[in-house]
A and B are shown apart, each in its own frame.
Chain A
């Protein structure tokens, strides 16, 4: 309680010294001596949507996919193929190309997450299971047009596999013998890592199965390392 009073006092000081307004103080901080010019009205609503705006319903993957503008799949596949080829020519080392693709994916992911949140209206996920489901059902569907499935949860619920049966990035692609070890779709792992980092989750993503190497599907192992909530530069010395 004393902290609240102190904090409320600070708010009033900050605000009234700069902006000349008159508001009404909600009396959950009792006795507070304020000048007659300063009445501050702070209304705290519970996280349920206010009556002024209808609650935003999270859209399903199919609905979002249908509502966004789409591009020709071949153009997408060919462009990605050109990027990988160019990287191989420039960097020559397969491991370097993998790293570069991951970095590119990361840069895409940090920007993509806002678009994903804006267009799909998903609310904050309760736990990592929900996060993985949302990525697989809504995220992949919205951006790649194919939904993934979530399998192989570990005991703590921090690691799972995302399985893709169909992958638009690899249409028409066959890896030659000189490119063994190339993770062709590594951009996807970067995208997921970047996107999750912007919502305060540090993850590690590895490829388990790759159809270009002869497996039957694409499998990504997503491991949650830690949650890093935003830190504010003040301490509550209660």
Chain B
């Protein structure tokens, strides 16, 4: 039975020059405070942009995966420019699928909420609830998808 320990789970919304960060932490090891997460997100935003120019392959849309000794960072960018990334244990499986599921949750519970203003921090209870469910309880379902 595969046990997932996430260090952190981050969700970032970017629009043009505006960096707007929303993040959730499901980790058991090492918590990040707001400042650290803001630092990481702005770092990541710049790196993602730079990497598009840096890439030796053509048609690159930015960094998908950053592999380190102690963590992996998976990133998903929608066609509208919103970036979602997750930091997890090295070689944790199905992270890309998780990111896709998170994107669907975002479109359902955040964008369809009429009181959510675009580009603002996400304060939607339903979104948080469903996100925790996907991350913590639906592990088996996700593995089976």
Contact = CB atoms under 8 A, between A and B. Distances in A.
B140 interface: no
Contact of B96 (A46, A52, A198): A52
A75 interface: no
A71 interface: no
B47 A124 contact: no
Given A41-B67, A44-B60, A118-B100, 7 more contacts: A28-B56, A44-B55, A114-B111, A117-B80, A231-B16, A231-B17, A236-B53
Interface stretch (B20-28, B101-109, B120-128, B131-139): B101-109
26 contacts: A7-B50, A11-B47, A14-B43, A23-B69, A28-B56, A43-B67, A44-B55, A46-B57, A46-B59, A47-B61, A53-B96, A110-B118, A111-B111, A111-B118, A112-B111, A114-B107, A114-B111, A115-B108, A118-B78, A118-B104, A118-B106, A124-B79, A198-B80, A198-B81, A230-B16, A234-B49
Interface in B45-68: 46-47, 49-51, 53-61, 63-68
B47 A47 contact: no
Main secondary structure of the interface of B (DSSP, over half): loop
A114 B118 contact: no
Contacts of A15: 43, 47
Interface of A: 3-4, 7-8, 10-11, 14-15, 18-19, 21-23, 28, 41-47, 50, 52-53, 56, 110-115, 117-119, 124, 198-200, 230-234, 236
Interface of B: 16-17, 39-40, 43, 46-47, 49-51, 53-61, 63-71, 78-82, 93-94, 96-97, 100, 103-104, 106-108, 111-112, 118
Nearest to A121: B100
Nearest to B95: A52
A111 B112 contact: yes
Nearest to A17: B43
Counting chain A CB atoms within 10 Å of each CB, which of B61, B71, B107 scores highest? B107
Contacts of B56: 28, 44
Contact of B80 (A3, A28, A41, A114): A114
